Amino acid sequence: MSEVGAAFSRRRQGSAGQLPRATYAGLPEGRTLIMAILNVTSDSFSDGGRWLRAEAAVAHGLELAAAGADIIDVGGESTRPGAERIAVAEEQARVLPVIRNLAEQGLAVSVDTMNASTARLAVEAGALIVNDVSGGLADEAMTEAVISLDVPLIVSHWRGHSAIMNSKAVYGDVVAEVAAELEYRVAELIVRGVSPARLLVDPGLGFAKLSEHNWKVLGHLDRLTAFGLPVVVGASRKGFIGELVEEGAPMQARDFPSAVVAALAAQQGAWAVRVHDVETTKAALGVAEAWKRGAA
């Protein structure tokens, strides 16, 4: 068995049967957390440009927290299908003032970035978690950064940048392949020195996946929770959700089905759900929790 395979085998054996409930920097335990999306971008598919000014972004972050968000996930680079990369300096100019301001006001903040230098500066500014949609593959320096920073890393399933990812959406068995590729990436990180206690996983919905792939992965989310690592699910407002609402409907029409997905993910053991609409999601998760208590 390879070193990578052995590392993941040890991880699985050590966590068999456990429902992962990670505790980071005092975040709540015992329920699925709400990670609110704060796009400080000009071209995000859902709300690009709305929060590009730092003042507007901070105000929106405070609104999200007041509505019930546990974590504010701040990103400065769009990863929608077809999006082009932006300069790292531009990304940092967008996100760092927002992260610093929100952290100073006592909010738990994560940074959504594929750049190691941005991750370092964001943590210095107060970010508690690094959310890398490439799982550390886009920037080879990311692994060393999260090791030295000693912060949690959300590792997403990823096959390539936004400009080319749709061409990578080719699978024989999408559930088996996503699980295997994510398992291997986690094991690589462990071998390189990242503590398993600092790793979370994300199936990467919408990244190199067609609609049927996303639903199949969601329908078998237990394949990921079986890793023994906290699972983050980000389905909010994505294209496969948009197919459930009337054509031409505003983005907000996707919030109700997104909240239903969040509740179902919570029932399957998701540690957190990454969403745009906190209020609707909080209500849906409340139903899921009440259902769970009733079944006990």
> Among the options 274, 282, 292, 293, which is catalytic?
274
Residue 274 is among the residues annotated as catalytic for this protein:
yes
Residue 112 token pair: 């959504």
Choose among 60, 59, 129, 54: nearest CA to 98. 54
Told to judge if 238 belongs to the known catalytic residues of this protein, a careful annotator would answer yes
Q: Which of 198, 209, 238, 254 is catalytic?
A: 238
Distances (CA, A) of 135 to 101, 138, 186, 187, 246: 27, 8, 9, 12, 34
Nearest-Å Rg of the Cα atoms of the chain is 18
Contact of 98 with 58, CB cutoff 8 Å: yes
CA pair distance 261, 112, nearest whole angstrom:
21
CB-based burial, 184-197: b 16+ in 10 Å, e otherwise: ebbbbbbeeebebe
In angstroms, the CA 218 to CA 266 distance is 11
- Classify residue 50 by burial, with Cβ atoms within 10 Å: 0-12, 13-18, 19+: middle
What tokens were used for 46?
Answer: 């859902």
Hey, which residues are catalytic here?
238, 274
